[in-house]
């Protein structure tokens, strides 16, 4: 049936930078990247993304979605979303009892098998404070022979965090909980334009091997048969199902009797049958 009169107006474009304009990005995040954010964190992501995109002269979230995410779903746009949507809070010697526990275990293992190097993995290392804290306590324990006896592997999903971690430059605020003797021994004071900053000394930096790893990916380029893995405050990003899969895979990555260290505040309703809970954050693989 023919209709008379003018064509209906095309559907209105969503208002730039509005909730509706952001919808395709929410869908991309969920389906392509596997991140579902709570509404307050989604609001924060929107604000951060808007300011980054405006600085690059984008005019709307839709434009970014059409011209960047759809064209290359694994490119810089996706990485920017990952960097902006993950919470990277960390600190030196966070949850200090874990570092005491690690030091005691390493001392025992090296006494039992002095020629076998101990490998420890900091999975979800953020800007590096966790693996560098490990390196500091182990250097204190083992002295200059530490490099032959210990390997520290550290990984994160966020390239921005890994870049910060490898740079190892921290602010006064970042180092404020560190004791003066450790500060003197393990940090170099910035000079000139770097005045007021602290850089981890090369001796400690060289002990850590950084890798870019998404823990949801099927392959993890780190050694297996590990005696200890720290995966603290990372599983908060995972659904219950993903968290259980993660725990199974981390357990597989451990040697029998190896230890998994999680964050003190993490709620783990379920753990694999071959993982024994010693405290809310310490788990040991059977065997």
Ligand X SMILES: C[S@@+](CC[C@H](N)C(=O)[O-])C[C@H]1O[C@@H](n2cnc3c(N)ncnc32)[C@H](O)[C@@H]1O
Q: Which residue ranges make up the site for ligand X (CB under 6 A)?
A: 86-90, 94, 124-126, 130, 156-158, 161, 213-216, 232-234, 237, 263
Question: Which residue lies nearer to ligand X by CB, 148 or 252?
Answer: 252
CA pair distance 107, 89, nearest whole angstrom: 29
**Smallest Cα–Cα separation from 106: which of 135, 129, 126, 144?**
135
Extended beta strands in 33-72, E state:
none
State whether residue 92 is helix, strand or coil. Answer: coil
Q: How far is the CB of 95 from ligand X (least distance, A)?
A: 7
**Residue 180 C-beta-side C-alpha neighbours within 13 Å:** 0
Q: How far is the CB of 156 from ligand X (least distance, A)?
A: 5
CA pair distance 265, 232, nearest whole angstrom: 9
CA pair distance 39, 33, nearest whole angstrom: 17
Question: Which residue lies nearer to ligand X by CB, 60 or 281?
Answer: 281
Q: How far is the CB of 210 from ligand X (least distance, A)?
A: 12
Q: Render 220-239 in DSSP notation, one character per residue.
A: --S-SSEEEEE-TT-GGGS-
Q: How far is the CB of 30 from ligand X (least distance, A)?
A: 14
Question: Which residue lies nearer to ligand X by CB, 53 or 222?
Answer: 222
Question: Which residue lies nearer to ligand X by CB, 110 or 260?
Answer: 260
Q: How far is the CB of 142 from ligand X (least distance, A)?
A: 23
């Amino acid at each position: 049936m023919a209709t008379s009169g003018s064509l209906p107006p095309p559907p209105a474009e969503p208002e730039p930078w509005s909730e509706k304009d952001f919808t395709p990005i929410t869908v991309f995040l969920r389906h392509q990247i596997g991140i579902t954010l709570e509404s307050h964190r989604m609001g924060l992501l929107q604000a951060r993304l808007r300011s980054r995109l405006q600085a690059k002269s984008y005019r709307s979230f839709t434009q970014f979605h059409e011209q960047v995410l759809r064209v290359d779903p694994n490119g810089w746009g996706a990485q920017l979303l990952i960097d902006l949507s993950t919470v990277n809070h960390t600190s030196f010697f966070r949850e200090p009892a874990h570092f005491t526990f690690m030091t005691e275990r390493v001392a025992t293992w090296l006494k039992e098998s002095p020629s076998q190097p101990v490998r420890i993995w900091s999975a979800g290392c953020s800007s590096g404070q966790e693996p560098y804290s490990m390196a500091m306590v182990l250097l204190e324990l083992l002295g200059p022979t530490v490099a032959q006896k210990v390997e520290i592997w550290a990984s994160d999903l966020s390239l921005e965090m890994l870049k910060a971690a490898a740079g190892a430059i921290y602010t006064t605020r970042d180092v404020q909980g560190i004791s003066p003797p450790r500060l003197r021994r393990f940090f170099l004071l910035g000079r000139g334009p770097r005045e007021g900053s602290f850089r981890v000394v090369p001796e400690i930096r060289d002990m850590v091997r950084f890798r870019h790893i998404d823990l949801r990916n099927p392959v993890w380029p780190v050694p297996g048969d590990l005696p200890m893995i720290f995966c603290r405050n990372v599983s908060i990003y995972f659904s219950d199902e993903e968290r259980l899969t993660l725990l199974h895979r981390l357990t597989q990555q451990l040697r029998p009797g190896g230890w998994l260290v999680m964050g003190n505040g993490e709620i783990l309703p379920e753990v694999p049958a071959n993982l024994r809970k010693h405290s809310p954050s310490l788990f040991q693989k059977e065997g």
